[in-house]
């Protein structure tokens, strides 16, 4: 394997806790309508987020509050809300160490393009990530695990598949997608899995960014 020259990250539940973004959206919506946000939040979980094809609609339905106007209003908040988000503990260290070691950084993310770009804005990492690929900018049929977002990303980075790692939280979407183009994957779990981790094609499995830092940089400090 060639020396690693690039790190490609998934966004949601990989670099940060996406539930914090949803909670801000739900609280804002609930405040406007004088609802208790808990009636919606009780439904939300990592598992429901991953399984749902319409998470905002499902949140409304779970509280028996669904109608098209509410759904549209909630989605508008979802794609435009301003909220202060934080990276997972240790992620900042990785983003500092990568350029110091001559390693390029990138993100590949599924989902509505405006929403995903807004999350990146709220995280304040626009200028820290060299390459950002929103899969749906390539077409609605090309969400991960389709190979195209991965191939597009490494082409923009000017690297080959054996010169990068792909880091993601979803065994199916992230690890399978990376393996299709022979990019070695690192599954980062953040303790999301309540039972055993599903079988997947990851080369490595780590629990958090501290473990990832040890794997990639052998505990190298990020100080100048």
Residues 140, 184: Cα–Cα separation, whole Å: 25
Instruction: Please name which of 18, 65, 21, 78 lies closest in space to residue 39, comparing C-alpha atoms.
Output: 65
Structural domains of the chain, with CATH: 6-16+86-217 (3.40.50.1000), 18-80 (no CATH)
pLDDT at 207: 93
pLDDT at 218: 83
Per-residue pLDDT of the chain (224 residues; tens, 9 = 90+): 578 999 999 999 999 999 999 999 999 999 999 999 999 999 999 989 989 999 999 999 999 999 999 999 999 999 999 999 999 999 999 999 999 999 999 999 999 999 999 999 999 999 999 999 999 999 999 999 999 999 999 999 999 999 999 999 999 999 999 999 999 999 999 988 756 676 789 999 999 999 999 999 985 555 54
pLDDT at 197: 72
Dihedral sign for Cα atoms in the order 148, 152, 155, 159: negative
Residues 181, 148: Cα–Cα separation, whole Å: 9
Among all chains, which residue has been given the structure tokens 């909220």? 83
Q: Confirm whether pTM is higher than 0.85.
A: yes
Residue count of the chain: 224
């Amino acid at each position: 394997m060639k020396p690693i020259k690039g790190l490609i990250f998934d966004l949601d539940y990989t670099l940060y806790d996406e539930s914090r973004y949803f909670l801000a959206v739900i609280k804002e919506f609930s405040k406007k309508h004088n609802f208790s946000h808990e009636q919606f939040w009780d439904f939300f979980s990592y598992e429901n987020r991953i399984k749902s094809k319409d998470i905002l609609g499902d949140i409304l339905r779970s509280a028996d509050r669904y109608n098209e106007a509410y759904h549209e209003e909630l989605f508008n908040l979802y794609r435009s809300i301003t909220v202060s988000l934080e990276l997972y503990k240790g992620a900042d260290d990785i983003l500092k160490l990568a350029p110091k070691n001559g390693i390029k950084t990138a993100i590949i993310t599924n989902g509505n393009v405006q929403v995903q770009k807004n999350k990146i804005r709220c995280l304040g990492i626009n200028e820290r990530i060299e390459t950002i690929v929103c899969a749906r900018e390539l077409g609605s049929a090309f969400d991960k695990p389709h190979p195209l977002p991965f191939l597009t990303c490494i082409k923009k980075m000017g690297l080959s598949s054996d010169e990068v790692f792909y880091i993601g939280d979803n065994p199916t979407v992230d690890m399978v997608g990376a393996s299709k183009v022979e990019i070695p994957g690192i599954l980062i779990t953040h303790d999301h899995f309540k039972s055993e981790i599903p079988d997947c094609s990851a080369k490595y499995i780590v629990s958090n960014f501290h473990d990832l830092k040890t794997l990639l940089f052998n505990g190298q400090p990020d100080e100048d």
